[in-house]
Structure 1
Amino acid sequence: SLEFLTGYLIEKALAVDNIFVFLMLFTYFAVPAEFQKRVLMIGILGALVLRAVMILMGAWLIAQFHWILYVFGAFLLFTGVKMWWAAGQEPDLDNNPALKWIRRRFRIAPDFDGEKFFTVVNGVKMATPLLVVILLIGIVDIVFAVDSIPAIFAITTDPFIVLTSNVFAILGLRAMYFLLANMHERFHLLSYGLAIVLVFIGAKMLLIDVYKIPVVFSLGFTAVTLAVTMILSLKIPPKGRAGGGYPFGVKKRDEK
């Protein structure tokens, strides 16, 4: 149906942003290519479980409290505006609160130890960078789920459609990562398109009791907006390094 297709398109578009965050984390921590597949699989499985729980909770809240749609709408408006203003900026993972929180709770080893999550350095048990990356990806999953799930509830409140559109979009993350890993700089304007879509969906939720925007219009608006920003990304060269309004941006560490 159109509701499933629209939800799938929105989730897939946000998943592209998610992939670029994974890429920056892998670059920042210099994760070897042979470990990336395992990290991606763990991240995808975690995202599936997390989103299933959040979708069921969201469906229950909407069924019990209709006004929660206005909360979702206001949140999406805020997120869209924030993403727009953050796009093009150079985030810094070194000062990211999530990484600081992890560093306060774990002693982190300077190097990887195979696929181990913990290792012993000079008699001291430490977390490996691989564990840190997985923890950060888990947090990224939460951040993106909080954005994407309310967005799809704006299209339909049927939990089955919301869940299946999420599942089908997420299952392709691993393949999409290796397809888009070398193309993130080419789509440097994508975050602007995502910001516009989130603002549109937030407004749609706030107007739900005044005027119900047709699903076919939502699908067309989303597809055209994303297509235009991707085409413009190919036509307009980025100014320096492209940012993306990501919750976890990075600056590649200097080679030693």
Structure 2
Amino acid sequence: MTVAEAVVVLLAGVAAGTINTVVGSGTLITFPTLLAFGVPPVTANVSNNVGLVPGSVSGAIGYRAELRGQRERLLRLGSASLVGGTAGAVLLLVLPSAAFDAIVPGLIGLGVVLVVLGPTVARRVAERAALNGGLPEHGAAWVWPAVALAGVYGGYFGAAQGVLLMAVLGIGVTDTLQRHNATKNVLAGIVNAVAAVVFVVAADVDWALAALIGAGAVVGGQLGATVGRRLPPSVLRGVIVVVGVTAIVAFVAG
């Protein structure tokens, strides 16, 4: 790899870390970049996943103020991300890519629709829950399995995992959008971390590429936390929709 190519990968890591912290889908920048430099798809996927783990940690630290008071919620939903992320990483290694990639655009599209309809749906869910004593503190009963399914998707590929998580949290958990974003960063980080462990043990990781992406993603995580926290809910929701639609177009075009 030339110095120029290394710089491009590093900058792609910065961009991915920023986008992942704000909404997710940073993989749509780093993964195509690695493919453009001739890295085999599976190697690119696993190396990218390993490289983005430090960025997830950086983003979560950047949102630490919004994480206060969420310990029990994070422990509960984090277990779902742990299970789902492990399953998704194993699927990547044992299944043909076409078997799962065929439904990726549909999953992202569902996430975008849920984000758009989230406020209305969440209001109706809350109204109905109020008749039964209110939603549980850590979300409706279906939130845990939904987070686990998002983890399966995230462990397999990861692009737009944040869109799906924000949709689930926005509808099933009563809290502010910024606190949901902080929770999303932790849950996505758990998925990336557990998938990275599986890949390190059982797959071919290009450590030079992973290191470049990781270094850039750490910087991007801090930038994303600064930018994301300043976005009002309507703008943040709009960013999520734009990223989600872009992800769908990228998959279909690819």
* TM-score, scaled to structure 1: 0.39
Give 1 or 2 for the bigger CA radius of gyration: 1
Structure 1 or 2: more helix by fraction: 2
* TM-score, scaled to structure 2: 0.40
